[in-house]
Amino acid sequence: MRLDDLIYHTGEWLRGTGPHSNIVMSSRIRLARNLAQKPFPNRATKKGSISILETVEEAVSGIDYFKKSTTFKIHEMDNIDKQFLIERHLMSHEHSMNTEGKALIVSDEEILSVMVNEEDHMRIQVMQSGLNLNETWKIINSIDDALSKRLDFAYSPRWGYLTACPTNTGTAMRGSVMLHLPALVMTKQINKVLSAIAKLSFASRGFYGEGTQAQGNFYQISNQVSLGHSEEEILQNINGLLKQVIEQEIQARQALMVQNKPMLEDKIFRSLGVLKSAYIISSQETVELLSMVRMGIDLDVLKDLDRRVVNELFITIQPAHLQKIEGKKLSASARDTKRASLIREKLGGV
Amino acid sequence: MQCDICGKKKATVHLTEIVDEQMSEMHLCEECARTKSVQMEQQFGLSDLLAGLADFGKQVKDKEQTTLACANCKLDYEEFKKMGRLGCSECYTEFESHLANLLKKIHGSNRHLGKAPGSIPVAHKKEIETINDIKHEMQESIAREDFEKAAELRDKIRGMEQEDKS
Ligand SMILES: [Zn+2]
Ligand SMILES: [Zn+2]
């Protein structure tokens, strides 16, 4: 697989099906793993990092899950390609900097990816569509088991998996779920919900990564604590919390439908109308309108649209994606034009 | 040093911020620090954790001035405090007593209850953990020069290990 092969199809996790997929975009679990005694990436020499990468590559080559995977060496990539992988949620922004010895291993359908030599030697990630943490855990757990037969992981019985940052020590697991909560935002209940989440020591942040305001009404919720509970327990806690958030979003949507159906329908159809007819559009405006359209599909107000098409647009309207599709560097204003034409094409506009 | 946010006033507040699993240092003036902490509280509810980390920094400084360093990767403890990153798996052994406090502050616990590499059955794993706990308690007793307690714990461990073999 070449990087350019990714342009024309998006990850399996965007397919828009699975439990609660009207509200939950995707479930993701990340495990951090290090090799015993080898310096962590922040203290490794260039030679050391390269040797870690070789060890990891050899270990994964014998494992079924990695059969159809590709390794991308980050230092060989240009900025647009790196940004492209970040936009697909396959790697972090940090992984695109100080790239010597860093690599990204990506499986066929982008279900599985491994950042090698990011903050830890390995950051293994599995993503699934909908609320599917249990299934996601099953997959990543067996991948981890297979890897642990081939690699000597840094582990202590007392503290579990040892990571570069003590905030990850223990299970070294981060489970996160991407939620679409437009009705809680529209009914101004979102801050109440987010502060309840924070009190329970879960983190929430936006769809487009660190530091961004939640855009398109997407919120990613993940566990903060990684030590003192088993993996299953942590995931159960996230599930329990999510069920409540989902329930609140459902209620808010129903309330909007009952109390102010014409307003809601107007908003949804106008959003679709603008997306279908705009010739210049910013990414900010796009995600706001797409969010309304997505809710329109969920509420059966829009009947002929596929959720997957809308999900994919959230990814493909980003700068690096537009430039990869166009096959060349585009200025900000050229991107706004390209974005509008891509959206019209996908939504069947004028 | 000037404030990282406004760049104008003198930085008097130094804090460690954790965003998307990244820990970073910030140097702020009092006014920006106040705004920042309100923001963070709303967004992440991390203020307790941050207070814990700052506190941990102070505590260590008072107690210990000698440099403690990892024999394997040469990271010294002062540097860890600055960067918030450990250097290798052996750092966890070298800095054990400090990390026990820090981990407890971050996670509310410092006992791993999750999976282990390979295929150690869970029941057996729990037992190993218990033994390790007692071993650790024994070492602490020795450090306190409470040899009576240490001997008692040693016998307990022997008993458990024997039981394990039979
Ligand atoms: Zn300032
Ligand atoms: Zn070390």
DSSP B58-115: HHHHHH--S--B-TTT--BHHHHHHH----STTHHHHTHHHHHHHHHHHHS-----S-
Chain Cα centroid distance, residue A81: 17
User: B50 pLDDT exceeds 70?
Assistant: no
Q: Which pLDDT does position A214 carry in this prediction? A: 57
Distance CA B110, CA B98 (A): 12
| Chain B residues with beta carbon closer than 8 angstroms to that of A205 | 20, 43
* Residues whose CB is less than 8 angstroms from the CB of residue A204 and which lie 6 or more positions away in sequence, other chains included: A194, A197, A198, A214, A219, A220, A221, A222, B43, B44
pLDDT of residue B39: 58
| A:115-144 residues touching chain B, CB 8 A cutoff | 119, 141, 144
pLDDT at B128 (0 to 100): 59
Contacts of A325 (CB under 8 A, 6+ apart): A7, A316, A338, A342
- Residue B117 to residue A148, Cβ atoms within 8 A: yes
State residue B148's pLDDT score. Answer: 78
The pLDDT of residue B163: 56
Give the confidence band of B135 by pLDDT, cuts at 50, 70, 90. confident
- How much is the pLDDT for B27? 76
Give the model's pLDDT for residue B40. Answer: 54
- At residue B55 the predicted structure's pLDDT band, cuts being 50, 70 and 90, is very low
Residue, of A295 and B13, whose pLDDT is higher: A295
DSSP A74: G
B54, pLDDT greater than 50? no
Tokens of B28: 């702020």
* Residue A56 identity (one-letter amino acid): V
Question: With an 8 Å Cβ cutoff, is A240 touching chain B?
Answer: no
- Cβ of A210 under 8 Å from any chain B Cβ? yes
d(CA B42, ligand 1 centre) in Å: 20
Asked if A229's CB is within 8 angstroms of B113's CB, the reply is yes
Of B6 and B107, more confident: B107
3-state secondary structure of A254: helix
- Does B58 score more than 70 pLDDT? no
d(CA A52, CA A62): 16
> Model's pTM, two decimal places?
0.79
Are B21 and A30 in contact by the 8 Å Cβ rule? The answer is no
According to DSSP, residue A213 is labeled: P
Q: Please answer yes or no on whether A229 and B119 come within 8 Å at the CB atom.
A: no
State residue A194's pLDDT score.
Answer: 87
| Residue with the larger pLDDT of the pair B37 and A49 | A49
pLDDT of residue B24: 61
Residue-wise pLDDT tens for chain A (350 aa)? 788 888 877 888 888 888 899 999 999 999 999 999 999 999 999 999 999 999 999 999 989 999 989 999 999 999 999 999 999 999 999 999 989 999 999 998 889 999 999 999 999 999 999 999 999 999 999 999 999 999 999 999 999 999 999 999 999 999 999 999 999 999 999 988 988 888 877 777 766 655 455 588 999 899 989 999 999 999 999 999 999 999 999 999 999 999 999 999 999 999 999 999 999 999 989 999 999 999 999 999 999 899 999 999 999 999 999 999 999 999 999 999 999 999 999 999 77
- Percentage of chain B exceeding pLDDT 70: 60
Q: What is the DSSP string of A5-71?
A: GGTTS--GGGS--STTTTTEEEEEEEEEE-BTTSPPGGG--HHHHHHHHHHHHHHHHTSGGGTT-EE
Residue corresponding to tokens 């602490």? B140
- Under 8 Å between Cβ of A56 and A118: no
Per-residue model confidence (pLDDT) at position B2: 80
Q: Which of A165, A192, A200, A230 to mutate to test the interface with B (most CBs of B within 10 A)?
A: A165
Distance CA A328, CA A330 (A): 6
Report whether A251 contacts A257 (CB < 8 A). no
Does A303 reach chain B within 8 Å, measured CB to CB?
Answer: no
When comparing pLDDT for B17 and A18, which is higher?
A: A18
DSSP assignment of A81-133 equals HHHHHHHTTSS-SGGGSS-TT-EEEE-TTSSEEEEESSSSSEEEEEEEESS-H
Beta bridge partners of A29: A126, A175
Of the listed ranges A48-62, A159-173, B54-68, B77-91, the one predicted with least confidence: B54-68
d(C-alpha B166, C-alpha B162), whole Å: 6
| The CATH fold of domain A3-185 | Creatine Kinase; Chain A, domain 2 (3.30.590)
Question: Domain boundaries in chain A?
Answer: 3-185, 261-347
> What is the separation, in whole angstroms, between the first and last Cα of chain B?
65
β-pairing verdict for A24-33 and A173-180: antiparallel
List the beta bridge partners of residue A71. Answer: A105
The pLDDT confidence band at residue B21, using thresholds 50, 70 and 90, is very low
Contact A104, A91 (CB under 8 A): yes
- Among A116-125, B7-16, B144-153, whose mean pLDDT is lowest? B7-16
